[in-house]
């Protein structure tokens, strides 16, 4: 090193750091040989703390303010090697600036889908992503556990590990939760706060404070989402005939030509056929009529209920005669069997004489 460079290093008496990167968590002040002149000024700005490291050990942690580096102002400096030799042997130490502001909008997300059970869809695979916020809470822990001797430590160097902690807790949370998939959007805030509480102790081991976890989206696989969209479309359409009539009216208002009218007519016919088919299918919203069940009175006692096949068997056996009292739902009173089952007691005409 040249004479002028050496003199320049010795006479610079202000130690400070201004962060222009927005993502730097820890910065080591650059100085040749880590030599700091007696009486130099240290400026620690708001949202910063300065950490002195001498011979690999943390000597002091200074909060925001302006400090004159003298033993009477910072007594801890008296323990540093060679300080008593003054200018001829400058104070040797490393100065690390820690950025204590909030680091926001750090992304987290599932790398692979998480398989969960759902009340409506049985088993589904879910993906999720969001953001979180952290702040340095314990510089001593952070420098010992993570930073080490890194002279420029940024969020990118640790966010993968932090995000993995959040994703792991999210998988456990979603696996134990019984909220239906379609209702999860209303629980994003609850999920985020729960994960923050559960993951915070792990962040604290690194000297970090987890301030907030946001769940931005929980999504289904594309094929399941497509099926859901089709189902939603059917629900929105409502009555098929009414929807076709509405579309036809719109075509007339917009001046549709003859070809439009032909297509519209075909659409109406097809819509009618589809509506009729839907009404006739077992999945129709109108269920078939329930079969009637009959009660009979024998020797003053009520017997039944019997279906119509059983009634016919008892008629053939002679248990039920035309005068036997019967009742079924819808009748006001008990009536003779020949009135309740008129068709079953018709008398055939006499045979012709030969």
3-state secondary structure of 308: helix
Report d(CA 5, CA 256) in Å as an integer: 87
Report d(CA 178, CA 153) in Å as an integer: 41
Angle, CA 193 vertex, CA 192 and CA 195 arms, to 5°: 65
Overall pTM surpassing 0.75 (yes/no): no
* Strand 294-298 to 94-99 pairing: unpaired
Q: How far is CA 6 from the centre of its chain?
A: 59
Q: How far is CA 239 from the centre of its chain?
A: 33
> Which phi and psi angles does 34 have, rounded to 5°?
55, 30
Question: Cβ atoms within 10 A of the Cβ of 121, count?
Answer: 15
What the block records as the tokens of 113 is 């889908």
- The sign one gets for the Cα dihedral 23, 29, 30, 34 is negative
Which homologous superfamily is 103-223 in? Answer: Band 7 domain (3.30.479.30)
Could you read off the pLDDT of 323-335 as tens digits, one per residue? 899 988 888 889 9
On whether the CB atoms of residues 269 and 277 are closer than 8 A, the answer is no
Could you read off the pLDDT of 46-87 as tens digits, one per residue? 999 999 887 778 888 899 999 887 655 555 555 554 444 444
Name the strands in the sheet holding 14-15, side by side, starting at the edge strand that comes first in the sequence: 14-15, 41-44, 65-68
For the chain, what are the domain ranges?
Answer: 3-99, 103-223, 238-275, 294-345
On whether the CB atoms of residues 33 and 41 are closer than 8 A, the answer is no
Crossing angle, helix 258-280 and helix 240-253, to 10 degrees?
Answer: 170
How would you classify residue 156: left for phi > 0, otherwise alpha for psi between -120 and 50, otherwise beta?
Answer: alpha
Of 196, 187, 129, 188, the closest CA to residue 169 belongs to 196
Rounded to 10 degrees, the C-alpha dihedral 55/61/65/67 comes to -40
Of 323, 279, 278, the closest CA to residue 297 belongs to 323
Considering only CA atoms, give the Rg of the chain: 43
Name the H helices within 150-220: 159-176, 188-204
- Specify the long-range contacts of residues 30-35, CB closer than 8 Å, at least 24 apart: 30/151, 31/95, 32/1, 32/5, 32/6, 33/9, 33/92, 34/92, 34/93, 34/94, 35/9, 35/10, 35/90, 35/91, 35/92
What the block records as the tokens of 218 is 């929980």
| pLDDT tens, N- to C-terminus, the chain (354 residues) | 454 454 444 445 788 999 888 899 999 988 766 677 777 888 999 999 999 887 778 888 899 999 887 655 555 555 554 444 444 445 577 889 999 999 999 999 998 888 888 877 778 889 999 999 999 999 999 999 999 888 899 999 999 999 999 999 989 888 888 888 888 888 899 999 999 999 999 999 999 999 999 999 998 888 888 877 777 776 666 565 666 666 666 666 666 554 555 555 555 556 566 666 555 555 555 666 777 888 999 888 888 888 888 888 888 888 888 889 998 888 888 999 888 887 777 666 666 665
3-state secondary structure of 40: coil
């Amino acid at each position: 090193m040249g004479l002028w460079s050496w003199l320049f290093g010795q006479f610079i008496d202000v130690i400070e750091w201004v962060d222009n990167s927005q993502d730097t968590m820890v910065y080591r002040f650059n100085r040749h040989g880590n030599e700091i002149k007696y009486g130099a000024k240290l400026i620690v700005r708001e949202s910063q703390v300065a950490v002195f490291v001498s011979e690999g050990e943390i000597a002091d942690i200074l909060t925001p303010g302006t400090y004159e580096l003298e033993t009477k102002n910072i007594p801890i400096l008296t323990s540093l090697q060679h300080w008593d030799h003054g200018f001829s042997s400058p104070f040797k130490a490393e100065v690390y600036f820690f950025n204590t502001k909030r680091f926001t909008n750090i992304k987290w997300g599932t790398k692979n889908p998480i398989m969960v059970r759902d009340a409506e869809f049985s088993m589904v695979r879910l993906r999720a992503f969001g953001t979180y916020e952290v702040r340095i809470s314990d510089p001593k822990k952070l420098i010992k556990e993570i930073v080490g001797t890194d002279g420029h430590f940024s969020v990118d160097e640790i966010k993968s590990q932090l995000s993995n902690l959040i994703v792991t807790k999210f998988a456990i949370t979603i696996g134990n939760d019984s909220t239906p998939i379609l209702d999860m959007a209303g629980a994003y805030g609850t999920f985020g706060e729960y994960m923050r509480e559960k993951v915070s102790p792990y962040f604290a081991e690194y000297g970090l404070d987890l301030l907030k976890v946001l769940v931005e989206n929980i999504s289904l696989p594309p094929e399941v989402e497509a099926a859901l969209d089709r189902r939603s479309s059917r629900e929105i359409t409502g009555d098929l005939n009414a929807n076709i009539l509405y579309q036809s009216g719109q075509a007339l208002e917009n001046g549709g030509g003859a070809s439009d009218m032909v297509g519209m007519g075909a659409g109406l016919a097809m819509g009618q056929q589809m509506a009729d088919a839907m009404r006739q299918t077992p999945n129709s919203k109108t269920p078939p009529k329930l079969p009637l069940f009959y009660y009979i009175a024998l020797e003053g006692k009520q017997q039944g209920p019997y279906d119509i096949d059983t009634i016919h068997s008892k008629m053939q056996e002679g248990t039920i005669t035309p005068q036997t009292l019967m009742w079924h739902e819808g009748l006001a009173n008990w009536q003779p069997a020949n009135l309740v089952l008129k068709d079953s007691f018709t008398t055939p005409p006499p045979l012709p004489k030969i």
